[in-house]
Amino acid sequence: MHVCGCREVSEEYGREVTRLCEVLMKVLSASLGLEEARFQEAFGGAECGACLRANYYPRCPQPDLTLGLSAHSDPGVLTVLLADEHVRGLQVRRADGEWVTVQPVRDDAFIVNVGDQIQILSNSVYKSVEHRVIVNAKEERISLALFYNPKGDVPIAPAAELVRPDRPSLYPPMTFDEYRVYIRKNGPRGKAQLEGFKGQAVPGTGNK
């Protein structure tokens, strides 16, 4: 009975947060002067995918010697995080390189991370968020993350409307499946992998 209840609540939560992501897609598109549906269509329309994951970070007696999650940016479109309201652990890297602990404006607020696919499609107008997770010496921490991703086999490249002579296309076309394999093969390295192939083929994908 408890398992069934948990499943039903999780599925409903996933559906509602996915709808939120679809709304955010419209906002991001419009903010760049594009049609509201432009981003959603580029990522696969109704066939975009979502994955809900619960994260558990146990107490660590020496938190200065380890990380809950090393520095990286999320490879997909958006990540919507429901953070632990009692224990903070998510940090983002500012432009000056300093790591800052995220403090939501209210306990029930979502934290939304822009992913690599938004950076690619927007031709780097929007930047994906480099982040990491620290652990706590006294308290465990739990969070719930929904990853909103493109359809796996749709080639994604900077939107033509955002490419011009003074701002050429920065990224080669690639599918999300290709990009995800590349990232996993090379392991988390902050944003070095995304920045490293601007204007180049993605190694191992066959894109030129």
pLDDT single digits (tens) 115-136 = 999 999 999 999 999 999 888 8
What is the residue extent of each domain of the chain? 6-196
pLDDT at 87: 84
**Arithmetic mean of pLDDT, 154-164:** 96
Report the topology of domain 6-196.
Jelly Rolls (2.60.120)
Higher pLDDT, 5 or 56: 56
pLDDT at 201: 54
Q: What is the pTM of this model?
A: 0.88
Of the listed ranges 4-18, 36-50, 158-172, the one predicted with least confidence: 4-18
- The separation between CA 111 and the C-alpha centre of its own chain, rounded to angstroms, equals 11
pLDDT tens readout for residues 25-42 = 999 999 999 999 999 999
Asked whether the beta carbons of 128 and 118 are under 8 A apart, the reply is: yes
Percent of the chain scored above 90 by pLDDT?
A: 62
Higher pLDDT, 101 or 87: 101
Asked whether the beta carbons of 147 and 51 are under 8 A apart, the reply is: yes
Name the average pLDDT for the chain: 88
Contacts of residue 194, Cβ cutoff 8 Å, sequence gap at least 6: 73, 116, 119, 120, 128
pLDDT at 173: 95
